[in-house]
Chain A
């Protein structure tokens, strides 16, 4: 018996020793195969070259933030300048395009994150990426910590036809990226925009009027008690609270007509003085008792199923929510609060720890940004994820055509209005970028995807707060969410003391018992 076992074990051991070789070999072969088939070249020629000349690009992006292809035939976007169709994922397409354009193979390792904070924690824990796509405040944090590689000079060269980003970026967005700065450096030195948007309120027009929804104070409106959701996120809640607390001041004629209006607005919306923080805390505690919930993702579904009447939403998600509701023949609208709206940007930045001094890799990373900025890919992305790209297309008309395709009024439609998006498309803010759209679109998807110039005029960015301010605000948030023991009613104390006494009594009993046992 023993002999048989020993024999068997030896056999298994020998088997496992040989096993890894074929497994690894086939693994390597299949991976190069897939890259080759994607680049559409003869496989026998490149098989010998080995792995070394494949550039690996580690990209980390938001979840569901890129077109993954596989569209059905009827999803084809038929623009005047040609059809746009998502066959493969944009990542596969990029690998093919890069090989065809630069003759080098690149393999994209794509991963995703859920929140900016998650991403930052992942980086702190030692995950290495070359290219990531955080929001503007996280970009500012990473810039201030000197973690980023600046974009190369070539990236800004608009003469290169492959530099789709600089050739196509919206003048409005580019202006922001080239003027907003932290520690004396502009964002545009390190970051290229991807998507942008504003914050607002999706509401059910059956129960809530446009006026009621167009203000941050809706969240403590007792009329809608327990029927609204807000974001479970300290920055969004902070912005909302300031907007609501300063509602009167922000909408006063004196404030609006001040020549320094925009600077003043940003100062107010980014006020992190201790007094402001404590006011916000009190306000959010009231809001907490008035809203249905603080949500991270459930808000969209709760809105569509009618559990809540209004929710705080980012514009891209607002578009998605309204689209879904439309499919169920259920109308939802979008309102931009009259006080101010938070304009935000997600942008690509390259990490020092990933890219280092590897020029080939940096070139591939910048090409990735450019490829995603090519107008047809921009449209695919926008169609797929509902957010708004920072690309206006420059001399390429397709983005504006997509807007017309998506929102333009039918020729025989009544009740149309002119919708001006010159601020986004035109370098000097004037021109022919005016859409004729059904009137309802001024408070529906269009107003969320491409906010009106009126909404843009009262938009404010939310800067990165330094670590000290940041921890004060985070503590404020914890205080809002926690049950404060000092606010406990007397009967609570009585119960607590009784429970504590009970536990102590049990403990004493137990000790006694064990002593007796001995």
Chain B
């Protein structure tokens, strides 16, 4: 008996078909039908003519964008220092950054809620800020790791060459290190931006009562309107595909960073 590629692929293909392909087919079916099961485009046109749905898309986008920027600003210097440090046991320090992720997510946000209440007095005064803080807290390691991996894999000789040729620290960083770490940034951004658009649990727990895409889908399902809900999910899927295509590449770096999680 041989373990050929075919046989080894069976478990995952079964999983894939049952839990990814099949639900997707159902999603497509609901998205393009109405209550009577007839084919229709009204769900699609409905979304793009509804100011609330578009507003929600924009609001989610804004939260995700700000979260990503904040994450990037926090993560890049951290990853840079880590990667450049002469320490021998870097992986231990990286572990420390990943450690919060081993604690249950809702537990962490509950703790965060208490801290924010202590700092702000009344949580509900700053819903947007709180959501961004909560998401940043949640997604920061996803940004640090890929950037760290990319920078630490950079060939030190390149930097030395730049220095030898007369570039100071600043221009070495700007014209050598930074451009070379772009793949890490891209994969970090895609790992933070996309989940941040739908992670409505953070908003719920931190008392932001405005819907984002995830909660909008949920509300349609709770109201038995599976058709409009599926369509929104599908549109979101389309957007995600679009972003992934745009960011492209960086997959190798992803894997390295992902291995640590």
Cα–Cα distance between A117 and B221 once the two chains are bound (Å)? 9
Judged by a CB distance under 8 angstroms, whether A183 is at the interface is no
Given known contacts A293-B207, A294-B209, A485 and B222 CB-to-CB distance under 8 angstroms:
no
Q: Most chain-B Cβ atoms within 10 A of its Cβ — which of A471, A481, A482, A507?
A: A482
Given known contacts A481-B211, A483-B55, A117 and B222 CB-to-CB distance under 8 angstroms:
yes
Could you tell me the dominant secondary structure of chain B's interface residues?
A: helix
Given known contacts A9-B1, A481-B215, A503-B246, A488 and B55 CB-to-CB distance under 8 angstroms:
yes
B123 and A292: CB pair below 8 A? yes
A115 and B124: CB pair below 8 A? no
Interface string of B35-47 (1 = CB under 8 A from A): 0000000000000
Judged by a CB distance under 8 angstroms, whether A247 is at the interface is no
Interface string of A453-490 (1 = CB under 8 A from B): 00000000000000000110010011101111111100
A482 and B207: CB pair below 8 A? no
- Distance in Å: Cβ of A14 to nearest Cβ of chain B: 14
- Distance in Å: Cβ of A356 to nearest Cβ of chain B: 25
Judged by a CB distance under 8 angstroms, whether A5 is at the interface is yes
Cα–Cα distance between A503 and B225 once the two chains are bound (Å)? 32
A292 and B55: CB pair below 8 A? no
Cα–Cα distance between A226 and B124 once the two chains are bound (Å)? 6
B56 and A482: CB pair below 8 A? yes
Judged by a CB distance under 8 angstroms, whether A154 is at the interface is no
Given known contacts A478-B52, A481-B211, A471 and B58 CB-to-CB distance under 8 angstroms:
no
Cα–Cα distance between A388 and B159 once the two chains are bound (Å)? 74
- Distance in Å: Cβ of A230 to nearest Cβ of chain B: 10
For chain B residues 196-248, which have a beta carbon within 8 Å of chain A? Answer: 205, 207, 209-211, 215-216, 219-225, 246, 248
Judged by a CB distance under 8 angstroms, whether B122 is at the interface is yes
Given known contacts A117-B222, A120-B224, A484-B52, A293 and B209 CB-to-CB distance under 8 angstroms:
yes
Given known contacts A9-B1, A293-B209, A507-B246, A482 and B124 CB-to-CB distance under 8 angstroms:
no
Q: Out of A232, A471, A506, which one reaches B246, CB within 8 Å?
A: A506
B58 and A481: CB pair below 8 A? no
B1 and A483: CB pair below 8 A? no
Count, chain A residues at interface, CB 8 A: 40
For chain B residues 108-135, which have a beta carbon within 8 Å of chain A? Answer: 117, 122-125
Judged by a CB distance under 8 angstroms, whether B99 is at the interface is no
Closest to B243 in A: A503
B225 and A471: CB pair below 8 A? yes
A482 and B122: CB pair below 8 A? no
CB contacts (< 8 Å) of A477 on chain B: these are: 219, 223
CB contacts (< 8 Å) of B58 on chain A: these are: 483, 485, 488, 496
CB contacts (< 8 Å) of B54 on chain A: these are: 485
Cα–Cα distance between A120 and B221 once the two chains are bound (Å)? 11
- Distance in Å: Cβ of B235 to nearest Cβ of chain A: 15
Judged by a CB distance under 8 angstroms, whether A291 is at the interface is yes
Cα–Cα distance between A294 and B1 once the two chains are bound (Å)? 60
Judged by a CB distance under 8 angstroms, whether A55 is at the interface is no
Judged by a CB distance under 8 angstroms, whether A182 is at the interface is no
Q: Out of B1, B205, B216, B246, which one reaches A478, CB within 8 Å?
A: B216
A6 and B224: CB pair below 8 A? no
Closest to B220 in A: A478
Judged by a CB distance under 8 angstroms, whether B70 is at the interface is no
Cα–Cα distance between A503 and B189 once the two chains are bound (Å)? 14
Given known contacts A5-B1, A121-B224, A471-B225, A481 and B55 CB-to-CB distance under 8 angstroms:
no
A292 and B223: CB pair below 8 A? no
A288 and B209: CB pair below 8 A? yes
Judged by a CB distance under 8 angstroms, whether A499 is at the interface is yes
Judged by a CB distance under 8 angstroms, whether B137 is at the interface is no
B248 and A510: CB pair below 8 A? yes
B52 and A483: CB pair below 8 A? yes
For chain A residues 116-139, which have a beta carbon within 8 Å of chain B? Answer: 117-118, 120-121, 124
Judged by a CB distance under 8 angstroms, whether A51 is at the interface is no
CB contacts (< 8 Å) of A479 on chain B: these are: 52
For chain B residues 50-108, which have a beta carbon within 8 Å of chain A? Answer: 51-56, 58-59, 61, 65
Judged by a CB distance under 8 angstroms, whether A307 is at the interface is yes
B223 and A474: CB pair below 8 A? yes
Cα–Cα distance between A482 and B219 once the two chains are bound (Å)? 11
CB contacts (< 8 Å) of B65 on chain A: these are: 499
Judged by a CB distance under 8 angstroms, whether A162 is at the interface is no
CB contacts (< 8 Å) of A120 on chain B: these are: 224
Cα–Cα distance between A499 and B60 once the two chains are bound (Å)? 14
- Distance in Å: Cβ of A116 to nearest Cβ of chain B: 10
A471 and B55: CB pair below 8 A? no
Cα–Cα distance between A118 and B223 once the two chains are bound (Å)? 10
B59 and A483: CB pair below 8 A? yes
CB contacts (< 8 Å) of A441 on chain B: these are: none
Q: Out of B1, B53, B122, B223, which one reaches A471, CB within 8 Å?
A: B223
- Distance in Å: Cβ of B232 to nearest Cβ of chain A: 11
Judged by a CB distance under 8 angstroms, whether A227 is at the interface is yes
B210 and A484: CB pair below 8 A? no
Given known contacts A5-B1, A292-B122, A485 and B224 CB-to-CB distance under 8 angstroms:
no
Closest to A227 in B: B122
- Distance in Å: Cβ of A280 to nearest Cβ of chain B: 16
Given known contacts A9-B1, A292-B122, A478 and B222 CB-to-CB distance under 8 angstroms:
no
Closest to B57 in A: A485
B59 and A481: CB pair below 8 A? no
B51 and A486: CB pair below 8 A? yes
A483 and B56: CB pair below 8 A? yes
Interface string of A486-503 (1 = CB under 8 A from B): 111000000010010001
A-B contact pairs, 20 of them (CB 8 A): A117-B223, A120-B224, A124-B224, A226-B124, A227-B122, A232-B209, A292-B122, A293-B124, A471-B223, A478-B223, A481-B209, A482-B216, A483-B56, A484-B51, A485-B54, A485-B58, A488-B55, A496-B58, A499-B61, A506-B246
* 6 extra A-B contacts, CB within 8 A, seeds A474-B223, A482-B216: A6-B1, A474-B219, A478-B219, A483-B56, A485-B54, A486-B55
The 5 tightest CB contacts between A and B, nearest first, are A485-B55, A482-B52, A293-B207, A474-B223, A483-B55
Binding site for B on A (CB under 8 A): 5-6, 9, 115, 117-118, 120-121, 124, 226-227, 232, 234, 288, 291-294, 298, 307, 470-471, 474, 477-479, 481-488, 496, 499, 503, 506-507, 510
